[in-house]
Structure 1
Amino acid sequence: MVSATQESSREGQAKPVQGRTPPIVINTITTADIGAALSAGFRDFTAAPVYGLFFGGFYAVAGWLILGVLFFLDLHFMAYPLAAGFALVAPFVASGVYEVSRRQERGLPLSWSAVFGAIGASGRRDLGWMAVVTTFTLVIWIEIATVIYLVFFGLRPLDWGSLMTAVTSTANGLIFLGLGNLAGALLGITVFAISVVSFPLLLDRDIDFVTAMITSVRSVIENPRPMLFWAVLIAAGLALSLLSLFVGLFIVLPVLGHASWHVYRKLIPAEEAKSAEPTA
């Protein structure tokens, strides 16, 4: 007969958890891998340009509409922060581009129904939660930008010309510009860290968005130099698109989106990212 002490000891022993998902392996990459991913992204874009042009065009047109509304409402001071902050939701807009690269990688047929079906699949609901997270950060950024403007310029709305004069020729305006860019950069780095891997990972694997964000942050922490290099390249590409009044997004967004998939794949090997294919 087993004694009460022995029985209690057995009950206290940890039991193996059935069906536990194995930890996600994160590779160590270099800046050369970033360059290779960028080249692969350009090849993916040229192989199926219509998809990339569609998503890039959608993003550009949305930017034009938002700027048009701001100028119509005489909210000129919000044009720059909103245009810059618009990049915070770019990872979700680029999800369609990630799916194109994923299907090209696996030799799956490309179609609009397959691409949009993958994004909206019931098994990918956590992708929607990530969209909520990034949209929420955009709202936070708009609030921060508004507060900074009120601190430096008060309640008087400046027209575009007066705002540009104040920002470029007065000490108060230069401090305003520097502080605003610093706040935007810090928020942008945060969004980059939580989203650079999480969006493609959620398309590729059946996991929750919290795990995806943690994996994304781990990828950045474990590969600081190449991921910082990648963040700078993304920021530079989006900045050039901003200077072109969003016209550059027709090319920049899809190329960076395809390249982001390849950066993800270099970080998370394919054998660690197997999942059932959603029906088209």
Structure 2
Amino acid sequence: MSQTNDAGIGTTPAFPAVRAVGAGAPLKWLARGADDLKSCPIPSLFYGFCFAGMGLLITFVFEHAYEYTAALTSGFLLLGPFLAMGLYGISRRRERGEGCALAPTLTVWRRNAGNIGIFAVVLGVIFLVWARASLVVFALFYTNEMPNLSGFLTQILALENLEFLAVYFTVGLIFAAIVFALGVVSIPLMLDRDQDAITAMLASVGALARNPGAMIVWAFAIAALTVVGFLTFHVGLVVLMPILGHATWHAYRDLIEPARAAAG
């Protein structure tokens, strides 16, 4: 089925061609992401405060039922690519010389709403399954009395209840790997080219398969910066999430050939 590009010409998006990049490429993506933040601080930090606010709200509401907080916080991370869509829009506008503006990015999903919606449903289903799996792991393997947030973190740092920690993080890693594989470039690709959701997810898996070294570094960087954000009581998320969001756009640009080159 044909689609219409920005010039109003009917086109059928070709399957995206994946590039090979070096293992150090994620460091360049982060540097470019920081540059986008510096160039567009107000709209970027707006999304950063949204991330931090959501994290604080989850922690506040579920402070004394941390089995739910763990599931929701992890789900928050699983849904990160969707939540960062506005940051991709900011980077795209800056790249196209359209200047920094918040308002257009709030509805950037309208460019390809149907396929972005399909991807959101996929992430939502994975999140719900993970949330249920998290509760099951707590029920089966958590042997101590359920603590509050500070007590839970203390037990982790003291390496108490090692069987629970091993199972919980193993299961979480499986879900995180699935989401990471499907979402490396999916939403930027759908926003930039009006690509369908299935092709975008396949391209993401292809980018992971062709660049395992870079993807391992990228996944570690995302996890490390996110942990730093949470360990600063979510304050660090105000800056770190925009950097990661912008960097994801530059990862897409490095990993996927431009549309004309891919079609040619």
TM-score above 0.5: yes
The residue type equivalent to 1:244 in the other structure is T
Paired residue for 1:247, among 228, 235, 238? 235
Aligned-residue offset at 1:163:
5.0
Unaligned runs of 5+ in 2: 1-10
Q: Which residue in the other structure is 1:111 paired with? A: 101
In 2, distance between residues paired with 1:148 and 1:124?
A: 35
The residue type equivalent to 1:67 in the other structure is T
Paired residue for 1:29, among 4, 21, 30? 21
In 1, distance between residues paired with 2:255 and 2:159?
A: 46
Q: Which residue in the other structure is 2:8 paired with? A: none
Aligned-residue offset at 1:114:
1.7
Unaligned runs of 5+ in 1: 1-18, 275-280
Q: Which residue in the other structure is 2:202 paired with? A: 214
Paired residue for 1:205, among 189, 193, 200? 193
| Residues 210-243 of structure 1, C-alpha deviations (whole Å, 9 max, x = no match) | 1110110011001111111111100111111121
Superposition TM-score, scaled by structure 1 size: 0.82
In 2, distance between residues paired with 1:147 and 1:177?
A: 13
Q: Which residue in the other structure is 1:62 paired with? A: 54
Paired residue for 2:217, among 229, 235, 250? 229
The residue type equivalent to 2:102 in the other structure is W
Paired residue for 1:97, among 67, 87, 95? 87
Report if the CA contact (8 A) 2:43-2:101 is conserved: no
The residue type equivalent to 1:139 in the other structure is L
Report if the CA contact (8 A) 2:182-2:204 is conserved: yes
Aligned-residue offset at 1:110:
3.3
Q: Which residue in the other structure is 1:9 paired with? A: none
The residue type equivalent to 1:145 in the other structure is S
The residue type equivalent to 2:229 in the other structure is S
Query: 1:82 and 2:78 equivalent?
Result: no
Aligned-residue CA RMSD (Å)? 2.4
Report if the CA contact (8 A) 2:119-2:197 is conserved: yes
Query: 1:142 and 2:134 equivalent?
Result: no
Report if the CA contact (8 A) 2:190-2:197 is conserved: yes
Change (3 A) 1:250 1:164: closer
Q: Which residue in the other structure is 1:277 paired with? A: none
In 1, distance between residues paired with 2:88 and 2:166?
A: 34
The residue type equivalent to 1:108 in the other structure is E
Change (3 A) 1:273 1:264: farther
1:31 counterpart SS class: coil
Report if the CA contact (8 A) 1:84-1:242 is conserved: no
Change (3 A) 1:138 1:245: farther
Q: Which residue in the other structure is 1:124 paired with? A: 113
The residue type equivalent to 1:178 in the other structure is A
In 1, distance between residues paired with 2:147 and 2:211?
A: 44
Aligned-residue offset at 1:258:
0.6
Work out the percentage of aligned pairs sharing the same amino acid: 32
The residue type equivalent to 2:183 in the other structure is S
| Residues 27-59 of structure 1, C-alpha deviations (whole Å, 9 max, x = no match) | 111123222221111101100011111111111
Query: 1:52 and 2:44 equivalent?
Result: yes
Change (3 A) 1:162 1:271: closer
In 2, distance between residues paired with 1:32 and 1:170?
A: 32
In 2, distance between residues paired with 1:124 and 1:163?
A: 40
Aligned-residue offset at 1:145:
1.0
Aligned-residue offset at 1:252:
0.7
Aligned-residue offset at 1:199:
1.0
Aligned-residue offset at 1:164:
5.7
Paired residue for 1:258, among 246, 251, 257? 246
